[in-house]
Amino acid sequence: MYNDSYQGFDQSTKDFEVETNKVKEIRSPKVNLHFWGISSFFPFGRFAYSYLLIVFVVVGILSFTSCRVRLIPNRDEAVISQALQVAKSIDLFYLNLIDADSSELAYANFSDSYQSIELELRSLWLQSEAKPLNSEATRISRIILDLWVKYKEQHQKNNTYNLHLAPIHRDRFHELFVAFLNAEKAKTIQ
């Protein structure tokens, strides 16, 4: 009788262990790599986890390596060439203005040059505006355009140009283009 009750107790202990193991399996399900077919990719099935870990680390490093901080756009050589070209046109305009006699300073004599340079400046401004992360260069090109239009309107209104101010205006535009080119040069080439 004692033996029977002992065996009964032993059986119930085994049943309890089996049930506990089932609960553990339910609580912490293991991925069956054979079921997913992953183990077939790797030569050693039991090391599949290590391979997966290495793959994740390598992918992570590659993603981190390709990660770059960008605060400004890349340098655009075409914009630099265009800025140099407009700067040259403005310089030539002021050379002609300074060399002109006071009788030749009427606005009509310079209106074509004013228009063509304004067109080039508007194009430069739009090109700067079109690029992302380029607010500084856009503002500088807008300042150049605004000053050009201001001097044009003053010339048109007075129908003459104060020749004492002409060299100062010429230097001012030169300086503005220096600022624009400095901003462009700071950008990296990619």
Partner 1 sequence: MDLNLEELIEGLSSILKNELEGGKEEIKDYAYYIIEERKQRLKELAELYTGGFISKEEVESELADEEKVVEAHLLAMQVKAKASIQQAANASIEFITHYILKLL
Per DSSP, 29 falls in state P
Between residues 34 and 150, which has the closer beta carbon with respect to partner 1?
Answer: 150
The total of other beta-carbon atoms located within 10 Å of residue 138's CB is 18
The residue ranges of DSSP E strands in 47-86, in sequence order, are none
Supply 112's token pair.
Answer: 């074509």
Query: Using CB under 8 A, which of 97, 120, 124, 187 touches partner 1?
Result: 187
List the alpha helices (DSSP H) in 44-76: 48-66
Number of alpha carbons in the 13 Å side-chain half-sphere of residue 109: 14
- What binding mask, one character per residue, do residues 45-64 give for partner 1 by CB under 8 A, x or -? ------------x---x--x
- What binding mask, one character per residue, do residues 115-144 give for partner 1 by CB under 8 A, x or -? ---------------------xx-xx--xx
If one asks whether residue 180 binds partner 1 (CB under 8 A), the answer comes out as: yes
Compute the least distance from the CB of residue 166 to partner 1, in Å.
11
Compute the least distance from the CB of residue 119 to partner 1, in Å.
21
Query: Using CB under 8 A, which of 67, 78, 108, 189 touches partner 1?
Result: 67
Distance CA 183, CA 173 (A): 15
CA distances from 62 to 56, 68, 120, 190 (A): 10, 12, 44, 20
The answer to whether 172 and 136 are in contact (CB under 8 A) is no
User: Where on the chain is the footprint of partner 1 (CB under 8 A)?
Assistant: 57, 61, 64-65, 67-72, 136-137, 139-140, 143-144, 146-147, 150, 162, 164-165, 168, 171-172, 175-176, 179-180, 182-183, 186-188
